[in-house]
């Protein structure tokens, strides 16, 4: 049977979205939604967030922030589905069914679990079973393509294994095998040059503006080349961030300023490059910022959109779950 490509990805609501999230994930999600109308399913992974967030208000805020961010950035919820993971409780039932065919050994090999525990997170059952819930997320919607960052590839491979275990255990091809897809996104450096990440406190939020944005951009770490001297075009954080907003021609022009340490006969230094970057960020997200403000002022509109999407997702999940229940003798 030739099934259509079905795209699925989950986003954890664990903090303010930043430029790394935008260029590393959200931009591709929106592009995929344009390329595969009605076949993209994105959810806000609030069940997963419970492995680390134990603050109801923070969780609710995080969920709304992601919904508003995707909507403001242009994800069209008539053509793509964006929903709360916990609005589809069927996924937790599938988690149990998968748990019963999955060996402990598979989960014990999960890098993300080992890393989190090594970093001091309490080894709860939830944290340990995280990949089973993630497999259920993927399999319950019959997903074929899962766009993720490198750190999540192993989890998608585990979902492939779990689909096979289930189908073999019950002798029926009930669950579709998903493939992962790495985003072709650039590595976005943070203010200090490490990978931009909430965990490193080095982010530029997508919707930062005005003085806050100016201050953040001003704090990007550079070397100490004096004003008027040639600036390095390799390994410079300002240029790496600026590149994300420039077309080919503009990149060459700015590299010219860097190499000369001058623009139109006047000295050009990091301060000028930072000013260009601040202006680009500000302009790039101006329309989305305005849409975000409007959405934040009308939370009902956001809730209604999420609810409509959730009922589509739930209908799809129930069909898969009914087949799984049938296959394993639960009815």
Q: Which does 21 bind (CB under 5 to 8 A by kind): ligand TRP, ligand ADP, none?
A: ligand ADP
For residue 25, the 8-state DSSP code is: I
Tokens standing for residue 150: 């490198």
Torsion sign over Cα 160, 165, 171, 172: negative
Give the three-class secondary structure for 266. Answer: strand
* 51 lies in the binding site for ligand ADP (CB under 6 A): no
Nearest approach, Cβ of 313 to ligand ADP (angstroms)?
20
Name residue 182's beta-bridge partners.
148
10, 13, 24, 62: which one binds ligand ADP (CB under 6 A): 24
Distance of alpha carbon 301 from alpha carbon 92, whole angstroms: 27
Residue 46 near ligand TRP by CB under 6 A: no
Using the minimum distance from each CB to ligand ADP, give the nearer residue, 185 or 276: 185
**Which of 243, 239, 234 shows the shortest CA–CA distance to 268?**
239
Touching ligand TRP, residues 132-151 (CB under 6 A) = 134, 137-138, 146, 148
- In whole angstroms, how far apart are CA 102 and each of 97, 142, 153, 323? 9, 19, 18, 19
Q: CA angle at residue 235 from 222 to 230, to 5 degrees? A: 65
Task: Work out whether 310 is an interface residue with ligand TRP (CB under 6 A).
Answer: no
Q: Is 301 in the site for ligand ADP (CB under 6 A)?
A: no
* CB-based closest residue to ligand ADP: 24
Binding residue for ligand ADP (CB under 6 A) from 6, 8, 13, 20?
A: 20
Q: For residue 313, with 0-12 CB atoms within 10 Å meaning exposed, 13-18 middle and 19 or more buried, which class applies? A: buried
Stretch 186-205 residues interacting with ligand ADP (CB under 6 A): 187-188, 195-199
- The residue count for binding ligand TRP (CB under 6 A) is 12
The dihedral sign for the CA sequence 310, 314, 317, 321: positive
- Contact letters for ligand TRP, residues 99-138 (x by CB under 6 A): -----------------------------------x--xx
Q: Which of 12, 52, 92, 164 binds ligand TRP (CB under 6 A)?
A: 12
Counting residues that bind ligand ADP (by CB under 6 A) gives: 15
By the criterion CB under 6 A, which residues form the site for ligand ADP?
12, 20-21, 24-25, 148-149, 185, 187-188, 195-199
């Amino acid at each position: 049977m030739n099934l259509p490509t079905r795209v699925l990805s989950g986003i954890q609501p664990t903090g303010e979205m930043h430029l790394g999230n935008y260029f590393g994930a959200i931009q591709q999600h929106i592009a995929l939604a344009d390329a595969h109308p009605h076949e993209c399913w994105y959810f806000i992974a609030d069940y997963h967030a419970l492995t680390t967030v134990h603050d109801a208000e923070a969780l609710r805020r995080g969920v709304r922030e992601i919904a508003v961010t995707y909507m403001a950035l242009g994800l069209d919820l008539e053509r793509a589905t964006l929903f709360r993971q916990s609005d589809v409780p069927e996924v937790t039932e599938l988690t149990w069914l998968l748990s019963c065919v999955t060996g402990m050994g598979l989960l014990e090999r999960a890098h993300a679990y080992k890393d989190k525990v090594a970093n001091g997170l309490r080894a709860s059952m939830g944290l340990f079973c995280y990949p089973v819930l993630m497999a259920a997320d993927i399999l319950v919607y019959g997903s074929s393509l899962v766009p993720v960052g490198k750190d999540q590839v192993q989890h998608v491979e585990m979902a492939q294994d779990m689909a096979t275990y289930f189908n073999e255990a019950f002798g029926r091809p009930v669950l579709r095998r998903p493939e992962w897809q790495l985003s072709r996104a650039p590595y976005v450096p943070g203010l200090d040059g490490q990978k931009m990440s909430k965990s490193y406190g080095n982010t530029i939020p997508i919707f930062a503006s005005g003085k806050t944005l100016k201050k953040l951009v001003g704090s990007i770490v550079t070397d100490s080349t004096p004003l008027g001297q040639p600036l390095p075009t390799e390994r410079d954080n300002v240029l790496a961030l600026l590149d994300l907003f420039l077309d080919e021609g503009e990149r060459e022009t700015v590299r010219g300023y860097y190499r000369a340490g001058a623009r139109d006969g006047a000295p050009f230094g990091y301060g000028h490059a930072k000013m260009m970057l601040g202006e680009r960020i500000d302009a790039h997200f101006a329309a989305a910022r305005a849409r975000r403000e409007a959405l934040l002022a009308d939370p009902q509109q956001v809730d209604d959109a999420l609810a409509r999407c959730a009922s589509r997702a739930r209908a799809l999940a129930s069909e898969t779950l009914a087949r799984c229940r049938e296959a394993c003798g639960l009815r």
